[in-house]
Structure formats: structure tokens, C-alpha cells
Amino acid sequence: MVLKDSTPNLMVKDVNKTVDFYTNILGFNKIDSVPETGQWVFAIVKSGDVMFMFQEENSIKEEYPQLSEFPRGGGLTFYIHVSDIHTLYEKLKNKATLAKDLHDTFYGSTDFAIEDCNGYILTFSQSNK
């Protein structure tokens, strides 16, 4: 068995609002949605090799009842490698809520983190090696 990739499916309150944040603030492209128009229950966005799926909270809890006790945005962060951390930081620092300012890490990278519109933490990182 060879694992090929991973795309998280995030529980969100409002798929349309979330897609708007990821496309207009972060520069992702919407590549699919259900339904195609109107108020979406599910959507996929992509930027480079990074993809996220978003599923409306009631819909995902109906599909996976074991998630019914979990809040949106809780308990995890997403770590995204980028090629130009300083340009991305300048683009986002006044458009998104900073969770952690630009800094050099003990593991040899420069990182910063933002909070998306659902409370998920996105850490952007560029290796200094």
C-alpha cells in the first residue's frame, strides 16, 4: 500500500463564507461544491498542492454522529509549506487574525499562523535550510 495524499474535511458553520475567506483572502480556487450554486453544504478549494474540503456542521455530524460532541475549529492546526513566507505574511497580516506572528523556529524555519473564519489555525512555514 502506498499513501498518496491527504485532504482534510473541515466542519464549518457556513461553507459559502468559508470558501469566500479561502478564495478572497488566501488565494485558493474553488474546484467543486454541492450544490453547484446557492447555499453550499460541501465544497473543495485548492492552492498549489494544498486542498481543503469544507462540510456544513449539521451535514457532517449527520454523516459522522461521533463528531456531534466536537466544536468547530477545535484541537488541531494545519501546517502549510510555502515558498515566499515574507510576501505571504505581508499580504495576510492585516487581512486575517494572526494567531502567531512571523518568527524563526527552533527547527530551522520561519513561520507565522493565522486563524480562519471558523477558528482553525493555519501555520505557514518556509524552511531556512
- Which pTM was predicted? 0.93
Query: Would you say 26 and 82 are in contact if contact means Cβ atoms under 8 Å apart?
Result: no
pLDDT at res. 26: 97
- 84 and 64 inside one domain: no
> Which residues of the chain have a pLDDT value below 50?
none
The x, y and z cell numbers of residue 66, run together, are 461521533
Q: Mind listing the pLDDT tens digit for each residue in 17-41?
A: 999 999 999 999 999 999 999 999 9
pLDDT at res. 73: 73
46: β partners: 29, 51
Is residue 97 included in any domain, yes or no?
Answer: yes
Residues 6+ apart with CB under 8 A from 45: 19, 22, 23, 28, 29, 30, 31, 51, 52, 54
Is residue 121 included in any domain, yes or no?
Answer: yes
Is residue 37 included in any domain, yes or no?
Answer: yes
Determine the structural domain holding residue 26 and report its residue range: 6-72
Is residue 1 included in any domain, yes or no?
Answer: no
